[in-house]
Amino acid sequence: MLIVSEIIEKLKDVLSTDGKEGKVFDKDVATALELSQANFATMKNRNKIPYSNILDFCALKKISINWLLYNQNPDSLVDSTDKYWIKYFPEVSVSAGGGAYENEDDYEALEVPPYFINMLGGKENLKNIDAINVVGDSMEPTLNSDNIIFIDKARKDGFKDGIYAFTTNHGLFVKRIQKRVDGNLDIISDNRDYPTQILNQEEINVLGKVVSSFGMVY
């Protein structure tokens, strides 16, 4: 189990080696993580790790998050090359339903290779990217079961021919969405064995646009 106090001590070491003069206090760590002292104290008392803030801090300082959280790569405090990370939710699956972001802290840090950055909108946009799994065949041949898809949470509307992850009362899905002239939405499965559905915009909660994927092509 990850312990917040241990991570805080590592962050203090980072700030010390980064040129901070004098003793490093909790308030300095809170500032570095862009948290208020009150929120920082609450998270520390509850042993709740502010993953998003830590990911941003590691990206800024070019520090391996695996070293910070899991003691990997202990020989080097700062990586010699840039590392880029996004949130990957291995337990979340879309397409056939049966998944949801029930716990936003239940994710792994997935390293993204530099050549993949532009496809995800550039370095500054990585904070908006989540990675989740696909199950089922409703989006074949575009997306196959066991693909990992990358969702840009900053792109939730417009619905120009694109694939989106969204929730309805029936679960979590990934489908092609096109806006109709009457304002309703065509919910399209690329696998023509599945019929197109028509939904009102109020019936769905769009999580973001699918901007890329990893996985096998069949």
Residue-level pLDDT at 129 = 92
Quick: pLDDT tens for 65-101.
777 776 654 444 444 445 677 877 777 766 544 455 5
Q: What is the DSSP letter of 108?
A: E
Q: Does domain 85-214 have CATH number 2.10.109.10?
A: yes
The DSSP bridge partners found for residue 25 are none
Residue-level pLDDT at 13 = 84
Residue-level pLDDT at 150 = 92
204 is written with which tokens?
């769905």
Residue-level pLDDT at 88 = 78
Residue-level pLDDT at 77 = 43
SS3 204: coil
Residue-level pLDDT at 83 = 66
Distances (CA, A) of 187 to 18, 88, 153: 51, 25, 19
Nearest to 208 by CA among 142, 155, 134: 155
Q: What gap in Å lies between CA 106 and CA 87, rounded to an integer? A: 9
What pTM did the predictor assign? 0.60
pLDDT < 70 regions, the chain: 1-2, 18-21, 70-83, 93-106, 216-218
Residue-level pLDDT at 71 = 62
Residue-level pLDDT at 188 = 92
